[in-house]
Amino acid sequence: MARFLAITLTRSTVGRPENQRRTAYALGLRKMHKTAVHADTETIRGMVNRIRHLVTVEEIEQEVVTE
């Protein structure tokens, strides 16, 4: 079982500092209420922490299939 994070942009980046807008964009969050799924790593956790007031995060456990 691999752990993933479902990150949803719940507040707008309009009027926010440039570093917060770029962090949201780097996470794949381009529009309000859209969700991006990423592996649960320290790097992603750090990015989420930087914009924690703009996003909602859910932990997902998912079985990874490799062929």
Note the pLDDT of residue 12.
95
Which 3 state secondary structure label does DSSP give 64? coil
Note the pLDDT of residue 67.
72
Note the pLDDT of residue 16.
96
Three-state secondary structure of 24-62: HHHCCCCCCCCEEEEECCHHHHHHHHHCCCCEEEEEEEE
Domains of the chain, start order: 2-62 (3.30.1390.20)
Q: What is the pLDDT along the chain (67 residues), one digit of tens a residue?
A: 679 999 999 999 999 999 999 999 999 999 999 999 999 999 999 999 999 999 999 999 877 677 7
Q: What are the φ/ψ torsions at residue 42 (nearest 5 degrees)?
A: -65, -35
Total-model pTM: 0.86
